[in-house]
Amino acid sequence: MEISFYGAAEGVTGSQHLVKVNGKQILLDCGLYQGQRDESFMRNRTLPYDASKVDVMVLSHAHIDHSGNLPNLVASGYHGPIYATSATRDLCNIMLRDSARIMREDTEYLNSERRKSGQPLLTPTYSMADTMQALSLFHSLEYQTAFEIAPGVRLTFYDAGHILGSAVVLLEVDEENRHTRLLYSGDLGRNGMLLLRDPVIVPNIDYLILESTYGARKHPPIEQAEAQLGEIVRETIKRRGKVIIPSFSVGRTQELVYALHRLNVAGRIPKVPIYVDSPMAFSATEVFRLHPESFDKDTYDFMTKHQDPFSFDNLHYVRRAKESAKLTRDQKAKVVISASGMAEFGRILQHLARNIGDKRNTVLFVGYQAEDTLGTRIKAGDRMVPILGSNYRVRAQVCVIDAFSAHADQTDLVNYVRGANGHLRQIFLVHGELEGIRGLKTALGEAGFEQVTIPKLGETVRLVAEQS
């Protein structure tokens, strides 16, 4: 058996790892690389392997940096099954179609530049038709149900506790007379996250491919998130201000809505109107409603009493652009959750432009902000920021809640490795910037795990398991 690391090696995006075993090729994830526009276009367009020779595709979860290049895989000749949980399939149904739309708009932008300099025009990496074709190849498998995906290879999904439908991927491989357990973490969540069950630790692993996003960090306790949110809403409403929250439409927005619902029924926040201004968040919430099988016990208990975690009296979903424009103009005290999560594009920009100059308001960050984004500039305390082509003075309060993170931190990751151990022969650290990967390698070394490899992009490693 061998593994080639074709993405998210010494980086966080574009996850794709190709396993060759028993004469078959199994692809783990097929994510989009997300970086500078030109570089991203080229890297995503050309797959580093022959898609027509891949036999089986296994998808850990729906985030675009894990699933977003599936339509290109299919357009490049892949026609086998795509195994995922049913919640992942349903989220991909909206997220991949949205990705095809963004792909088309990005290509139009690049072409407008190319036209000026007389360069040949580009076509989008994939089309909506490719996306529909990819969606037709999905086969859903529920958690903890082993299924033979290739001769001598059994796949089992376990809860990863990261986003709805997310899975840790176990491959049990019988090769000649050897039995090997290979575990791919996908993205690993945290214990105690709202809505989702905790990540399942899978024991007795031989080889582990482990994410290391926060391998060098320790998160504040998750229990703080809801209390902090309540306090920020209370304080802002007392000033008759608005709480403006840039939020990812899938996952974080539903967590926020559920947290606000819980605060509401507990009487810990005033009953002001709460708006979710994002058509994508509306669609994603529909998918959440369809998959209560993915929820934890707290959420079940809440549902028994209050039915739907994602709707309550003073909560409004805004879908149409006209209603969104009206909401932007309304100056009453309220909470507005809108996308994009890093304030790079979308309706959140209108809300920020209107409200960032008023000291009664609060801009609240609840998610990761990449470098060079508007979100990072506001979060860093810049007093003047460009929004939609004009400069705005920041007078609103700027607050940050880090405790909502959906990724395991260093302590969680080391504990996960301890639990997966039995006869761990090698750990491959992927999906992290160098700081995270190196921090995790050091922490694992201190915990007694020396067999840690940091694969380079495109590197192939041959696994030689002990005979059992």
**Which residues sit at the interface with Zn ion, rule CB under 5 A?**
63, 187
When the beta carbons of 367 and 455 are compared against Zn ion, the nearer one is 367
Chain centre to alpha carbon of residue 100: 17
> 19-35 burial string, b = 16+ CB within 10 Å, else e?
bbbeebbbbbbbbbbbe
d(CA 228, CA 208): 36
When the beta carbons of 87 and 387 are compared against Zn ion, the nearer one is 87
CB contact at 8 A, 420 and 201 = yes
CB of 271 to Zn ion, least distance (A): 34
CB of 56 to Zn ion, least distance (A): 21
When the beta carbons of 88 and 361 are compared against Zn ion, the nearer one is 88
CB of 61 to Zn ion, least distance (A): 6
Residues whose CB falls within 8 Å of the CB of residue 110, separated by 6 or more in sequence, listed in order: 37, 38, 41, 122
CB of 461 to Zn ion, least distance (A): 23
When the beta carbons of 59 and 363 are compared against Zn ion, the nearer one is 59
When the beta carbons of 206 and 412 are compared against Zn ion, the nearer one is 412
When the beta carbons of 63 and 347 are compared against Zn ion, the nearer one is 63
Torsion of CA 436, 437, 441, 443, to 10 degrees: 10
CB of 113 to Zn ion, least distance (A): 31
d(CA 429, CA 441): 8
SS (H, E, C) the chain: CEEEEEECCCCCCCCEEEEEECCEEEEECCCCCCCCHHHHHHHHHCCCCCHHHCCEEECCCCCHHHHCCHHHHHHCCCCCCEEECHHHHHHHHHHHHHHHHHHHHHHHHHHHHHHHHCCCCCCCCCCHHHHHHHHCCEEECCECCCEEEECCEEEEEEECCCCCCCEEEEEEEEECCEEEEEEECCCCCCCCCCCECCCCCCCCCCEEEEECCECCCCCCCCCHHHHHHHHHHHHHHHCCCEEEEECCCCCHHHHHHHHHHHHHHCCCCCCCCEEEECHHHHHHHHHHHHCHHHECHHHHHHHHHHCCCCCCCCEEEECCHHHHHHHHHCCCCEEEEECCCCCCCCCHHHHHHHHCCCCCCEEEECCCCCCCCHHHHHHCCCCEEEECCEEEECCCEEEECCCCCCCCEHHHHHHHHHHHCCCCCEEEEECCCHHHHHHHHHHHHHCCCCCEECCCCCCEEECCCCCC
CB of 134 to Zn ion, least distance (A): 18
Q: Backbone phi, then psi, for 265, in 5-degree steps?
A: -70, -25
When the beta carbons of 6 and 275 are compared against Zn ion, the nearer one is 6
When the beta carbons of 99 and 361 are compared against Zn ion, the nearer one is 99
CB of 357 to Zn ion, least distance (A): 34
CB of 202 to Zn ion, least distance (A): 18
CB of 371 to Zn ion, least distance (A): 19
When the beta carbons of 187 and 206 are compared against Zn ion, the nearer one is 187
Q: Which of 4, 2, 3, 1 is nearest to 457 (CA)?
A: 4
CB of 74 to Zn ion, least distance (A): 21
CB of 353 to Zn ion, least distance (A): 30
When the beta carbons of 87 and 396 are compared against Zn ion, the nearer one is 87
CB of 147 to Zn ion, least distance (A): 23
When the beta carbons of 130 and 211 are compared against Zn ion, the nearer one is 211
When the beta carbons of 150 and 287 are compared against Zn ion, the nearer one is 287
